[in-house]
Structure 1
Amino acid sequence: MSTEELSKAQKYGFNKLQKRIRRNTGQAIADFNMIEDGDRIMVCLSGGKDSYTLLDMLQSLQKSAPVSFQLIAVNLDQKQPGFPEHILPAYLESLGVEYKIVEEDTYSIVKEKVPEGKTTCSLCSRLRRGILYRTAKELGATKIALGHHRDDILETLLLNMFYGGKMKGMPPKLVSDNGEHVVIRPLAYCREKDIERYSEQKAFPIIPCNLCGSQPNLQRQVIKDMLRDWDKRYPGRIETMFRAMQNIVPSHMADIELFDFKSVAAGMAFEGDGDTAFDKENFTDPAPVSESPVEVDPNLSLDVVNVGT
């Protein structure tokens, strides 16, 4: 259903949803100084709900930003059989946004290198990343914007904990592997369920990834299903988990590289909660996150959160 076909009540709900995603996007941009004056931002567009929402939000925020920045949408056509090549160019031309379609047959490489039955995502993502870095350099992009959201970041944290033995997530802003680019994730504060609803109501022309979409037993999918189950049974838990990633106390972990445990001695001040970690905890389930319009400032724009300053 398009936004033109929505009823009055549906339009009200859609406006709340749009403002919430816009607010969260603007806040993440401000918190991590993702966009600066004169930036040329390469928006990686896969044809999925996340990247469409990312481009839509950046275009919206671009109109009211206190800084000037350019957008160029880039899609990597990996030559998957049946890929509808016409959809993205037609959509981007309708928006009037600058874009580039990069054609590279990574599909054949992945199929050749990865044994049947094995997951393809790791090799596919490495190949895709290298091509996008090269393209960013060719286009003179100063930032590379990816569509990962809050749930992606939490999933990565749990994947690394469960399977990699690391407390490592997906940073909202980082320097690329080759050291030449800054990668940003403006949707870092946005919930996947909000993006799903927004994408449906905006009727984005979604293009499924047939290469990895046929791998239902991926570890990431297992984690995603677990988080969704928690979100249904314990509203507010996912929000609390994400806040925990923003409130790390190194002295209460066990990484000797992050905290000098060897120098701890009587009489010294201790960060965090000191020895209250030994006390019996008395936690309660977090309150569900309100979706009331009260939490949304209808006049919010990038000039409110001072992006780039």
Structure 2
Amino acid sequence: MKLQRLLGFVRRAVDDYGMIQDGDTIAVGVSGGKDSLTLLYALNELKKFYPKKYDIQAITINMGYKDADFSGVAKLCEELGVNYSVVDTDIADILFEYRKESNPCSLCARLRKGAFNKKAKELGCNKKAYAHHFDDVIETMLLSLFYEGRFHCFSPVTYLDRSDITLIRPLIYLEEKDIIGFKNTYQLPVVENPCPVDGYTKREEMKQLIKTMNKQSPGLKKRLFNAIREGNIDGWSLDQN
């Protein structure tokens, strides 16, 4: 995928849901994965011509895995002219050494969010951007449906009153395959995920299920996404934005 096409998807999401306003300072969560690096690249390029002026801050939460190397990310941020902060934590030790969590994802997410929000506020950010994409949207809805018994998904824009920060998700129109293409074309410095449970989660199972079902019924993914947009889930109706 070329940059121009990427920016087309991102701008449409930003415009449809009013994600960015004049004077925003947006903390971009950069895990080092392909999704977050694509988001960082896109928002940095978009700000060069977007009519509403904003700034970005790149933030990585270092979980404490010994093999994690973010030097490539730091170099990319330098090339882009983006301020880059790494927050060192011992979240990995808390999860796997002290608590020995067998299902660590929920606690891990809470700890990472807490560390991220604190740093974002220190940097003067009023918004934060996560790299959830088109496929994440569908997977989250089905996980909620299958395991919680409700038709629900995260919103494109969410105000978090506890931290007084607004969360935006500019990649919601972008399929994972396109992000992979962009990563390969622009040789983004992806950091391999060192988490021992990566690839063994309920989300990974759902990803494989959707892949199989979409092969059997072409266009299923787009129909599921449209069901979310038209299904009265808070924050998704374009009429509300």
Deviation at 1:215, TM superposition (A): 4.3
Question: TM-score normalised to the size of structure 1?
Answer: 0.72
Judged with a 3 Å threshold, the aligned counterparts in structure 2 of structure 1 residues 58 and 68 are, in CA distance, closer, same or farther, namely: same
Unmatched 5+ stretches in structure 1? 1-13, 251-257, 259-308
Q: Deviations over 1:205-242 (max 9, x none)?
A: 11122114x44331110100111223333322101110
State the alpha-carbon separation in 1 of the partners of residues 154 and 182 from structure 2: 23
Preserved contact between residue 126 and residue 164 of structure 2 (Cα < 8 Å): no
Which of 121, 142, 145 does residue 161 from structure 1 map onto?
A: 145
SS of structure 1 residue aligned to 2:8: helix
Deviation at 1:249, TM superposition (A): 5.9
Preserved contact between residue 119 and residue 215 of structure 1 (Cα < 8 Å): no
Which of 228, 244, 248 does residue 231 from structure 2 map onto?
A: 248
Q: Map 1:8-19; keep pairs closer than 5 Å.
A: 14-15=1-2, 18-19=3-4
Match of 2:5 in 1: 20
Which of 51, 58, 70 does residue 36 from structure 2 map onto?
A: 51
Q: Deviations over 1:225-267 (max 9, x none)?
A: 11122333332210111011111269xxxxxxx9xxxxxxxxx
Q: Which residue type is aligned with residue 140 of structure 1?
A: G
State the alpha-carbon separation in 1 of the partners of residues 147 and 67 from structure 2: 34
Match of 1:186 in 2: 170
Match of 1:87 in 2: 72
State the alpha-carbon separation in 2 of the partners of residues 140 and 150 from structure 1: 29
Match of 2:57 in 1: 72
Report whether the alignment pairs 1:225 with 2:205: no
User: Which shows bigger deviation, 43-52 or 85-94?
Assistant: 85-94
State the alpha-carbon separation in 2 of the partners of residues 131 and 39 from structure 1: 21
Larger Cα-atom Rg: 1
SS of structure 2 residue aligned to 1:129: helix
Which of 118, 122, 128 does residue 106 from structure 2 map onto?
A: 122
Preserved contact between residue 161 and residue 168 of structure 1 (Cα < 8 Å): yes
SS of structure 2 residue aligned to 1:67: coil
Q: How many residues align?
A: 235
Deviation at 1:179, TM superposition (A): 4.5
Match of 2:47 in 1: 62
State the alpha-carbon separation in 2 of the partners of residues 44 and 85 from structure 1: 13
State the alpha-carbon separation in 2 of the partners of residues 249 and 93 from structure 1: 42
State the alpha-carbon separation in 1 of the partners of residues 69 and 191 from structure 2: 8
CA RMSD of aligned residues (A): 2.0
Q: Which residue type is aligned with residue 245 of structure 1?
A: I
Q: Map 1:206-221; keep pairs closer than 5 Å.
A: 206-212=190-196, 214-221=197-204
Which of 2, 26, 34 does residue 41 from structure 1 map onto?
A: 26
Q: Which residue type is aligned with residue 217 of structure 2?
A: Y
Deviation at 1:160, TM superposition (A): 0.8
Taking only the aligned residue pairs, the percentage that are identical comes to 34
Judged with a 3 Å threshold, the aligned counterparts in structure 2 of structure 1 residues 249 and 87 are, in CA distance, closer, same or farther, namely: closer
Report whether the alignment pairs 1:239 with 2:225: no
- The structure in which a higher percent of residues are strand is 2
Judged with a 3 Å threshold, the aligned counterparts in structure 2 of structure 1 residues 249 and 67 are, in CA distance, closer, same or farther, namely: closer
